[in-house]
Amino acid sequence: MENLKKQVGIKAAEFVKDGMIVGLGTGSTAAFFVEELGRRIHDEGLNIIGVTTSSVTSEQASKLGIPLKSIDEVDFVDLTVDGADEIDSKLNGIKGGGAALLMEKIVATYSHDYIWIVDESKLSENLGSFKVPVEVIPYGAEQIFRKFTTAGYAPTWREDDKGNKLITDMHHYLIDLHISEIKHPEQLAQELDLTVGVVEHGLFNNMVKKVIVADHDGVKIIE
């Protein structure tokens, strides 16, 4: 599995050209992409600016010597490459397994080009085998949790390794929804968008045009 993730990370780095502003995703797959950019900067003198999507990626990129700017310091991002937790046949996706969905969605929104890199296990006909993370403001979060319970979404709190509610990079909580089959992701996204106290959710509908997938036969591109 690590090898498949590495293959897509390296493949995606081929789309990065000199002078680009590059969105750097979060997670174990995106980390291989970031690593490859670090290698190209070091070995080939690649000249780019990175815009990171989490504190974890900022730390990795800084260690690799990738020059960074925040999303507010650039006019736009040329290309963002990120992982995903689940992708349906229409290229809608669920993200946020690594708790970075808010920054990931903001950076993706201001990117001219956006690519997901995954191993084949992330592809499914309909979304729902992965939980839908919902980032909420702490004030009133218990009310939102109850609302999700009543709606039948079987919510759980995202916890840190000490069993406390996880605090995201942007100082919010995460509630994970366990919905077994999401046939209409747009409807669910709209409902979550309209819920007061919800900052953002992990449904990335209609945002990506290109997915680089690796399986044991090699790497392919779905568009």
Binding residues for substrate, as ranges, are 26-29, 82-85, 95-98, 122
Strands of 173-177's sheet in order across: 156-157, 173-177, 132-136, 198-201
Provide, rounded to whole angstroms, the least separation between the CB of residue 89 and ligand 5RP.
19
Other Cβ atoms closer than 10 A to 68: 14
The token duo for 73 is 């310091």
Footprint on residues 91-120 left by ligand 5RP (CB under 6 A): 95-101, 104
Question: CB-wise, 30 or 46, nearer to ligand 5RP?
Answer: 30
Kindly write out the interface string for residues 1-30 of this chain, putting x where it contacts ligand 5RP by CB under 6 A and - elsewhere.
------------------------xxxxxx
Q: Is 142 a catalytic residue?
A: no
The answer to whether residue 82 forms part of the interface with ligand 5RP (CB under 6 A) is yes
Measured from the CB atom, the residue of 28 and 195 that comes closer to ligand 5RP is 28
Q: Which is nearer to ligand 5RP, 20 or 101 (CB)?
A: 101
The distance of closest approach from Cβ of residue 18 to ligand 5RP in the complex, given in angstroms and rounded to an integer, is: 26
Annotated active-site residue in 104, 135, 159, 181: 104
- Total residues contacting ligand 5RP (rule CB under 6 A)? 18
Shortest distance in whole angstroms from residue 150 CB to ligand 5RP: 27
Q: Return the structure tokens found at 181.
A: 């089959």
- Stretch touching ligand 5RP by CB under 6 A, among 77-85, 143-151, 152-160, 212-220: 77-85
Q: Please, which residue, 106 or 151, has the CB nearer to ligand 5RP?
A: 106
Shortest Å, Cβ 111 to ligand 5RP: 14
Measured torsion, CA atoms of residues 56, 117, 105, 138, in degrees rounded to the nearest 10: -50
Q: At what angle do helices 28-44 and 55-63 cross, to 10 degrees?
A: 30
Alpha carbon 94 to its chain's center: 8
Question: Is the separation of the CB atoms in 124 and 87 below 8 Å?
Answer: yes
User: Can you name the residues that pair with 118 across neighbouring β-strands?
Assistant: 213
Q: Which is nearer to ligand 5RP, 46 or 81 (CB)?
A: 81
Q: Report DSSP state, residue 122.
A: G
Provide long-range contacts, Cβ within 8 A and 24+ apart, for 189-197: 192/132, 192/134, 195/144, 195/147, 196/140, 197/136, 197/137, 197/139, 197/140, 197/141, 197/143, 197/144
- Minimum Å distance from CB 135 to ligand 5RP? 10
Instruction: List residues binding ligand 5RP (CB under 6 A).
Output: 25-30, 82-85, 95-101, 104
The catalytic residues are 104
